[in-house]
Structure 1
Amino acid sequence: MRTSQALKVVGSSLPRVDGEEKVTGKALYTVDIELPGMVYGKILRSPFPHAKLLKVDGGKAERLPGVVAVLTREDLKGSNYYGAAYKDQSIVAVDKVRYVGDPVAAVAAIDEGTAEEALNLIEVQYEELSAVTTIDEALVPQAPLVHDSSSSGGELMGHLYQAPPEFRGTNLCYRFSYSKGNIDEGFKKADFIFEDTFTFPRVQHFSMEPHATVAQVEGDRITLWASTQDPFTLREHLSDIFRVPLNKVRIIVPWVGGGYGGKLAVKTEPLAAALSWKARRPVKLVLSVEESFKTVTRHPARYCIKTGVSRDGRLIARQCKIYMETGAYADAGPRVTQKAGYRALGPYRIPHAKTEAFTIYTNTVPAGAFRGFGTLQVTWAYESQM
């Protein structure tokens, strides 16, 4: 289409509205927030992938000069469990730890150095348990269970999720299935059949800004400055965890230095809020890059694909079995698995198809949302086969 009028937008360079603030250093991120009386939080993490917690004693740490509060499981008996899809995660470990890096306790102190020193004074006794760290280990009959009992379901992005009753006593977290046509007849009609198995490794978002929260709890009011992509969902979770009305929770989002899905739903924000409640002062909790790697990753996956084709190149049938490793806690795993199952056939016309997708618990870092949300793993696999 031709026009006699000059185009005002197409072909024009538009300035970034956030450019000046960022390049001049005026942009404030969560780590830049300073509040009167603020103290600094640090997390004590499990050195074991799977162990019972026999004892957690913060007495010596509390007596260290400069320590304002030590948070342990004893402080959180009235708080609810939480999670993006299933409510299977506690603020700090209660009965056992489920992966290397699982939070066991936390400290608030006048500076980060004192908080780090106090972590070394917390006495923890573990009874190490056998762990499952791969999909194969988790699926073996009588495998050690990551969760001894099934978790209560939840809602994520408008979908309700619940583990089937038959998954009790296993490390299976969620199942999605889809079929159309007649898969057996489809393979009978195919001239050629190709079978492949693809594995996808664990990767991390590696945002420029690690997870960071400044929490201020005053009475029943919770105010958080958080590096989050999902403030409204976070607000709902905090309201539920601490049993306060939704209008008592306020989430403020400064500039966010990258998220890519890793800052969706709930991560370390409840711990920061609980630490502020215990300390009765604002608390800044900023993770290191290493700690972010122990907080959330993309789902490792295995994709078994069987495709039947005709001599003239038409796709006749495809059968898929997908295993998504969600780690120690479900996080967004069921939703990611559901999306992977929906998209396992790709953009192709395939008259006969059957897909099964499973979310698997293991004693590894929880896996959550990441750009593509389950699509990347299966797309790479089926396009590799094509």
Structure 2
Amino acid sequence: MDTDALTKGPSPKQQSPTSTSKSLPSPPTDRPLSFHNAFRVYHREQLSNSSVETPVFSPSTTTTTTATKDDAAPLRTLDDVRDQVAEKIAVRALRKVRLVDEVKVAVVLTFSKKDDAQFLRQVAEHLHRILALKEYLFAIATTGAGPTSLLICGSASVHVQRAALLASSKFVGRIQPLYDEGTRWIARVHKIGWTAYDEAALWDVMQKSAQRLIDPLLPPPGSRSIAQVLEGARTRLQRVSPQQAFDELHDAAIPMPVLLVDIRPQAQREQYGAISGSLVIERNVLEWRFDPRCTDGRLEIATRYDLRVIIICQEGYTSSLAAAALQDLGLLNATDVVGGYKAWKEAGLPVEIAPVWVAVPEV
């Protein structure tokens, strides 16, 4: 056998007649493949590794999520909707929070719902869940044409009870308590939210109820005792004795009008006696009778600021405060009688004062 023929391959005459071009030599194995050839090799390998049961693009390489009837979300009920609304109101309340002595307070007015009391309980539960570790005090009221509900809830029952008492005082005759559950207080309320006063009043209730209590045995800063108030008033006055007051009333040389004003209540005048000729004006209307700026209820003589007003009371305490109040109005000549009516009587002065007629010169 010719070994050279085996090694050299077939001669051109032995090639297939259909072959019209000279075959190309195979590329060396160490030459890198082009992108097109690399893709063909990869595709061929994937086809060789696949089977009829396993497609080329199996779920392991491509994931497709298809919702089924079992995976569909369940239908929402009316209770679910109400709970969602309650949660939204709780979140709305959180956005209105004010801080009072480290206590979060807020007021929310919302439209009336069916079964307001139970709905407000749901709101309170959401607030408690959100603010479980915080101090808070909230007022939530439903508004509408008829009677609606008011919820006061908080982290501490003492805050809630304070707020309930203050709210009852703010809305006298309009609140009927329904449930007192310690940290929740629910009441029926009439016509709340119809005016701007209602919301402002609820804010005032929340803020005052959340304030920390001071030591009840210590006076608040800036406060004064009645002795200090009385002393301060008397430092501004030139007080007169009963005799000096009597003399001034009979002194025609004084250029301005002189008035003796008895501010005692009727019961004291009936019990201890009165000074006839004095001007009786009880304490609760004194400023309105003598203020020159006041046009409603002012005395006809009280149109000038130089009046000499001498105040007398039973023992000379209330009169000092009253005279200082007149000085605050601008009546700087106002003063009072030392010792009051008691000292007047002990001095032996008459209880009836004859009127003094000032001679008017003829023209």
**TM-score range for the pair, normalised by the shorter chain length:** under 0.3
Max Rg structure:
2
- TM-score, length-scaled by structure 2: 0.20
Structure with higher strand content: 1
- TM-score, length-scaled by structure 1: 0.20
Higher relative contact order (CA 8 A, sep 6+): 1
